[in-house]
């Protein structure tokens, strides 16, 4: 009997009144569904709802104090008095804070464009090796993936964590060596290599480096020495 016809198992569903509204697609499974089909439907429901709520959460991240800082106070050049803050034309409220960002939109788009160009080149090369009649993307107008507020902040958070890990590793090396009072450029380079090796070992399917084992060298001996060792010599 195929597994798809397995009898239904009792499952109690506890509704959370504080949860987000149900999606129109990938709704929760019903009790009359089969066990394996119910598992697949619930898996799709959980993944789609979490992905949707995560995008909503990142969309509101710009309002978090972590991503804001106070605007610089401006003064009148003639009188020296503090100027009033600018007014938001939509909300009619004074603008007291500005975005606290590490990477600009142009930098994020450059990084995304470079990653997309690399993937496009790999896909095109593999398709040509498989004898497919394909064309590469235009070098002057390459594909530019869209970058919203949520993905840009998530990328920025990962970038900041990456730089912090490199600097913390450099500080550990400085304290262990004890030759410098400050973190030098050479220490940052060494720390970057170490962190990159850790990232490659944790995310790649292969190690960052593979040692090559060559053939063992043959030991060349003299025939006279071999005969003397065997007892055939004079």
Do the Cβ atoms of 96 and 71 come closer than 8 Å?
yes
Instruction: State residue 128's pLDDT score.
Output: 92
Calpha distance 199→204 (Å, rounded): 8
Instruction: State residue 4's pLDDT score.
Output: 45
Alpha carbons within 13 angstroms on the beta-carbon side of residue 180 total: 12
The values of phi and psi at residue 70, to 5°, are -70, 145
pTM of the model: 0.55
**pLDDT, mean of each 10-residue run, the chain (234 residues):** 44 58 75 81 86 82 80 85 85 84 84 85 92 88 77 84 93 88 89 89 67 68 62 54
Instruction: State residue 221's pLDDT score.
Output: 65
Instruction: State residue 119's pLDDT score.
Output: 86
Name which of 159, 149, 150, 157 is nearest 115 in CA terms: 159
Calpha distance 29→44 (Å, rounded): 10
């Amino acid at each position: 009997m195929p597994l798809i016809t397995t009898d239904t198992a009792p499952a109690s569903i506890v509704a959370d009144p504080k949860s987000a509204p149900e999606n129109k697609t990938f709704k929760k499974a019903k009790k009359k569904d089969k066990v394996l089909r119910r598992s697949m439907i619930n898996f799709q429901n959980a993944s789609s709802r979490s992905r949707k709520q995560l995008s909503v959460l990142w969309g509101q991240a710009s309002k978090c104090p972590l991503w804001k800082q106070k605007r610089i106070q401006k003064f009148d050049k003639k009188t020296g008095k503090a100027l009033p803050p600018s007014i938001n034309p939509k909300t009619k409220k004074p603008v007291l804070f500005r975005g606290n960002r590490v990477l600009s939109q142009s930098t994020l788009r450059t990084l995304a464009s470079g990653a997309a160009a690399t993937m496009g080149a790999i896909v095109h090369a593999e398709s040509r090796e498989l004898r497919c009649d394909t064309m590469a993307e235009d070098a002057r107008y390459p594909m530019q993936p869209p970058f919203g507020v949520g993905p840009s902040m998530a990328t920025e958070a990962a970038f900041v964590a990456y730089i912090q890990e490199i600097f913390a590793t450099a500080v550990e090396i400085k304290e262990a060596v004890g030759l410098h009072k400050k973190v030098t450029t050479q220490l940052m380079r060494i720390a970057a290599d170490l962190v990159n090796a850790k990232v490659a070992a944790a995310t790649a399917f292969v190690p960052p480096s593979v040692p090559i084992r060559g053939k063992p060298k043959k030991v060349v001996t003299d025939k006279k020495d071999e005969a003397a060792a065997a007892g055939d010599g004079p």
